[in-house]
């Protein structure tokens, strides 16, 4: 499977719009998360070196290092999601009278959940960084911090749906419930954090 992130933006969007099996929602979620995290990094870039923010410069630099690692790993999830989906696509093609079909389908479904769940975990980590950047970063770039939170929240939500569509069909209901609860917890906590960042930034323009 080709790494779709190596394509131009227009090529990626055209591929996403096609009937190709990947990238799909998971790959789009990973890219959105990377974009949001990169915006967080930009806030840091516009903060360091400014006398006004000298007292937080070292902290901002450390956050930028985290952003760089997170955005790269999120980009890596685009091809990883495509690879994780392939076994499931193949499993659905197994004849229904094949006695191995149920087992293969179950295993492939679990595999297909792994990357979206990883994307959600990375979004959680990204929002933790963005929250600090929104608070301590350059006021000239505070809108970008708000945009970063919005994009990462969208990535979080989109990735969760790519888990839920698969856990719904799992025969192992205990495992399905475990994964669902993990995702629901991240949606609640991280979604609220992203909303708080957005509202704080937005309200700041009307203070």
Q: Per-residue pLDDT tens for 114-171?
A: 999 999 999 999 999 999 999 999 999 999 999 999 999 999 999 999 999 999 999 9
Pick from 37-41, 86-90, 149-153: least confident? 86-90
Average confidence (pLDDT) over 23-39:
97
Domain locations along the chain: 21-204
Does position 1 have pLDDT exceeding 70, yes or no? no
Query: Quick one: which of 186, 180, 182, 136 has its CA closest to 33?
Result: 186
Does position 180 have pLDDT exceeding 80, yes or no? yes
Class of domain 21-204: mainly alpha
At 2, the pLDDT band (50, 70, 90 cuts) reads confident
Contact 28, 16 (CB under 8 A): yes
pTM of the model: 0.96
Contact 21, 129 (CB under 8 A): no
Please give the angle made by the CA atoms of 65, 71 and 74, to the nearest 5 degrees.
140
Whole-number Å distance between alpha carbons of 39 and 34: 9
Give per-residue pLDDT as tens, 66-82: 999 999 999 999 999 99
Query: What is the pLDDT, as a whole number, of residue 207?
Result: 84
């Amino acid at each position: 499977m080709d790494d779709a992130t190596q394509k131009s933006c227009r090529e990626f969007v055209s591929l996403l719009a096609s009937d190709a099996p990947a990238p799909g929602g998971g790959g789009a979620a990973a890219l959105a998360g990377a974009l949001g995290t990169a915006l967080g990094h930009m806030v840091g870039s516009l903060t360091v070196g400014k006398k006004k923010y000298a007292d937080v410069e070292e902290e901002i630099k450390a956050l930028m290092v985290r952003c760089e690692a997170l955005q790269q790993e999120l980009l890596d999830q685009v091809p990883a999601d495509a690879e994780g989906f392939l076994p499931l696509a193949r499993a659905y093609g197994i004849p229904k009278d094949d006695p191995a079909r149920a087992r293969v389908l179950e295993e492939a479904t679990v595999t297909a959940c792994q990357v979206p769940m990883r994307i959600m975990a990375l979004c959680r980590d990204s929002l933790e960084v963005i929250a600090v950047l929104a608070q301590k970063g350059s006021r000239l770039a505070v809108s970008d911090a708000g945009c970063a939170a919005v994009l990462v929240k969208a990535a979080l939500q989109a990735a969760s749906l790519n888990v839920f569509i698969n856990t719904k069909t799992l025969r192992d209901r205990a495992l399905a419930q475990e994964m669902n609860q993990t995702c629901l917890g991240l949606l609640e906590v991280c979604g609220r954090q992203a909303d708080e960042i957005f509202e704080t930034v937005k309200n700041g323009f009307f203070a």
